[in-house]
Structures are given as structure tokens and as C-alpha cells.
Structure 1
Amino acid sequence: MFNDDEENLSSSRLRLAMAFLAASTVFTAILAFATLNQPCVSEAIHPKAKLLEEISQVQNYSYLGYDYPQNWNVRGLSNSTVYVYVGNSEHYTLDTDLGISEWDRLVPPDGGILHLGPDQRPFSISMFHQLRCLNIIRAGLMDSRGVVDAQLLRHCMNYLRQMMLCRADGQLQSVRRSTGGGATTWNQPRVCRDWRTVYEAADANSRDYEQDIQDRVL
């Protein structure tokens, strides 16, 4: 028999598990298989949004203040596509050593930090931010000791929600029934951006940065 605290913990973890699985399913389709790069409309327009948009029309950037491009220009990404069937995977389990290692490896060892511009200013990209957040939610789901910061979990849930709404993926998915598990047929083929191109570019950027640091020391 469970006491009240154990029942509350079990119920809380079940709700978090359901939220994580829903977010993970939708996010996977968005991340790996998105075909569009349309401008996003946020829930509340940020005051500097117009400034960033105007700056992005400029070809030469100082990478000081807001003077940097809105998107990282990955060479070849726009023409690099893969044809994939979306589906459940045997990989990326939530609590096994192998699964945890696979989640960890989705983000490069240096955290996916890019160094851009003449002064090697550090940046991240939304893809790596979202992957970090999914892993944080996974860790929170498996955390029975309260180690994962609840505020960080809240940030990640909201960030993923906003990115999904921002991209508004409109691929049609057949519906078997209105509610319940398996209601939607989502394992359909997608023409996707080749995310490997992003990893390769991030790795090249990291190596260039390390070489630049070594050259400065010498």
C-alpha cells in the first residue's frame, strides 16, 4: 500500500511523463523533419524584434550588441534534405545508461556553443537549446530526489511549447478517433532538413575556435 506522499509523487511523475512524451513526440517531428524556415510570431512581440529584423537585412555584421544575423547560416543546409519515416525508436530510453548517453550526445560536448564574428562571440542555436530542454525534462521525470530545478523545468516546457507554436507545423496526420492513445497516425514520411549538416558545421566551428585559441597563446 502507498501512503499519501507516495501516491502524490506517483501521480505527479505520471503527469510529467505524459507531458514529456507528448512534447517529445511533437518536438521530434519538428526538429528532425521540419521543411520550412518561416518567420515566427511570438506570444508578445519583443521590443527589440524590429531592430533585429532591420539589422538582419545588413550583410556585414560586427557581432556587437544586436548587430548579428537572426539565423546561423549553415552552408548547404537549405539544399540538404533527407527522406524519413517518423516513428517510435528503440533508442533514447529515459532511464537506462545507454538511453541517457544517447540523450546526452544529442548536444555536442561543448554544449553546442558557437563562436562567431571577429571577437568569437559565443552563441547557441534553437535546435541545441530545444535538445537540452528535452534532456532536462527527461532528467526531471526520472528525478525522485528533487535535484532538477522546477523553475528550469518550467522554462523548458514553455520554451518547447513556444517553439512548436512558432513553427506551426501544418503536416496533415490521419485521425483514427478523437481521443485516447494512438488517436493520430503520425508515423508518416517527411522530407526533412539533414540535421547532420548542422552537427558537422558546429563541430567545424568548435575546431576553428580551439585552433584560434591555440594560435593566440603561441
Structure 2
Amino acid sequence: MKVATPFTPCRIATVLLVVSVSMILIFQSELTATLQAIRHGTCSRVESPRDPYFHPRTFPDVTPLEDLGIEGDQAWDKLTTRKGGFLWLQYNETFDIPWGISMFHGLHCLQMLRGELQSQMGLSNGEHHHHKREIATKSDGHGDGADIVHIGHCLAYIAEMLQCVGDSTIERPWIKTNKISGYITGHGIDGAGVQHQCRDVSHLWAIAEDTEQSAARMWDHKPGDTVESVFGDL
């Protein structure tokens, strides 16, 4: 049996960095809209203001997604549907099989990494995130927890998603100056207060929730198929 590589402080720091950066870059809502706003849009690349799928959104300074405790668990739960955001299809007359929707797949990866971070930091047993995906991935071979292969897959998948989305928003840095001399004493980029063009993903939620209730029929799948190309705008 293959022995999993133990977590080291370096690996823990890497996971923490990836989760922190990813939470800034992906799927955040306005603080004033609180948790309900999270399910209505995700950050994407800049498009024409006339594109009906996109709308402006300013990233908040603080979001419940940053919390690694119970409040954060509740916020992360609201990012996906009851069964994890799958597209359920009729495999045959007696069996339905889940297909993935890329946005929810990426969110699952972040949830998994967050759970591992919680576990390594002693904040929880790291199992909170598993219940939704286990509904559809009972035979995925990952067992009760995430192994090093699953972690590597999710890091790579998030990197691919960020490059695919290609958000080209220019983020102004924060600058700290000396009040007397006026010299710059510090600066950085955290993405807070920056307006992005974000995608309305309510139709992704709609199709996932609809097929959780009644699986959709299989279609002649082609490479590059999307929810919109197959099911329309809903």
C-alpha cells in the first residue's frame, strides 16, 4: 500500500497560500450583500458591458469565506448546491450518473484544500467539506480524507481554471506612506475594493438543482459543450 507523503510546515504553508490567493481571486461576494449574494455570480474575464452574463462587482475587504471556523463553514456551504453542484444525467432506466460543471468542480477543490488546512491547523477534523461530494463520488478512491494525489489534482485544476478564466482586471495597490516625510513605507496588492466584471451563474445553479430533483437525458456530447450550449440560458 502506498504511504501518503506527510504534511510538512512547507506543504501546510503552500496550501494556506493557495487557499488565500484563490479566495481573493474566485467567487467572492460583496460584504453588504452577505452570504446570499455569493450564489449569484463569479469573477470572470472582462467582457463588454452589454454582455447579459456579466455585471460589475467590487471585491470586499473582508468576507465570511476567510473564516476557518463555523461561520466560514456555513459560508462555504452556500457556494454549492445540496448535492455539490453536479449535472445529473440518466445513464439508463434505473441509474443516474453525475457529470461535472467546472465552476462547482473548482469550488469543491477549494473546499477540500480548506478542509485539509483546518485539519492540519487543528481547527477541525477537516471532514466538513466531504459530505456533498461523497453523494456523487462514493467510488473515487479518495477514502475518508484527501490524499496527496487529490491535493495535487486540485492545485493543478485551480491553476488551469484561473488561466482559462483569464480575469484581466487591473488591481491598484494599497500604499502606506510616512505622514511626515511622505515617503512610501509599504505597499501591496490584496484585490480588496477592486471592481471586476463578474458572471451571473444563477443558470448554473438552476440546472444543477433541477437535475438533482430529476436527472436530465443524455445528449450527443461534444468537446467544449457548456450548460448554455446544451440547455440554453434557462
**Pairwise same-fold verdict (TM > 0.5):** yes
Judging changes above 3 Å, is the alpha-carbon distance between structure 1 residues 21 and 114 closer, same or farther for their aligned structure 2 residues? same
User: CA offset at residue 162 of structure 1?
Assistant: 1.1
Q: State the Cα deviation string for residues 28-87 of structure 1 (Å, max 9, x = none).
A: 37x7121569xxxxxxxxxxxxxxxxxxxxxxxxxxxxxxxxxxxxxxxx7344331112
Alignment match, 2:195: 189
Q: Does 1:104 align with 2:80?
A: no
Q: Which residue of 2 aligns with 1:199?
A: 205
Structure 2 regions of 5+ residues with no counterpart? 1-6, 29-40, 127-144, 176-185, 217-234
CA contact (8 A) 1:94 1:138 kept: no
What residue is the counterpart of 2:108 in the other structure? 132
Q: Aligned in 2, Cα 1:24/1:201: closer, same or farther, shift over 3 Å?
A: same
1:80–1:197 CA contact under 8 A, matched in 2:
no
Which residue in 1 is equivalent to 2:12?
13
User: Residue 194 of structure 1 aligns to which amino acid in structure 2?
Assistant: D
* 8 Å Cα contact 2:23-2:65 kept in structure 1: no
Q: Write the distance in 2 (CA, Å) between the matches of 1:204 and 1:133.
A: 23
Q: Residue 150 of structure 1: which of 136, 144, 148 is its match?
A: 148
Measured at CA, do residues 184 and 115 of structure 1 come closer, stay the same or move farther in structure 2, by a change above 3 Å? closer
Is the alpha carbon distance of 1:181 and 1:151 closer, same or farther for their aligned partners in structure 2, counting shifts above 3 Å? farther
CA contact (8 A) 1:176 1:183 kept: yes
C-alpha spacing 1:118/1:137, structure 2 compared with 1 (3 Å): closer
The 8 Å contact of residues 112 and 202 in structure 1, kept in 2 or not, is answered as yes
**Bigger proportion of residues as strand:** 2
Q: Which residue of 1 aligns with 2:133?
A: none
Tell me if the contact between 2:42 and 2:201 (Cα under 8 Å) persists in the aligned partners: yes
Aligned length: 160
Quote the RMSD (CA, aligned, Å).
Answer: 3.3
Could you say if the C-alpha distance between residues 25 and 181 of structure 1 is closer, same or farther in structure 2, counting changes exceeding 3 Å? Answer: farther
Aligned partner of 1:13: which letter? I
Check whether the contact 2:44–2:199 (CA below 8 A) recurs between aligned residues: yes
Distance 1:201 1:36, change over 3 A: farther
Q: How does 1:77-116 map to 2 (within 5 A)?
A: 79-116=52-89
User: Cα deviations across residues 99-145 of structure 1 (Å, max 9, x unaligned)?
Assistant: 11321332212222213478565311100000000001101111137
Indicate the SS of the match to 1:28. coil
Does the residue aligned with 1:107 lie in a helix, a strand or coil? Answer: coil
Higher helix share: 1
Letter in 1 for 2:104: F
Q: Which amino acid aligns with 2:189?
A: A
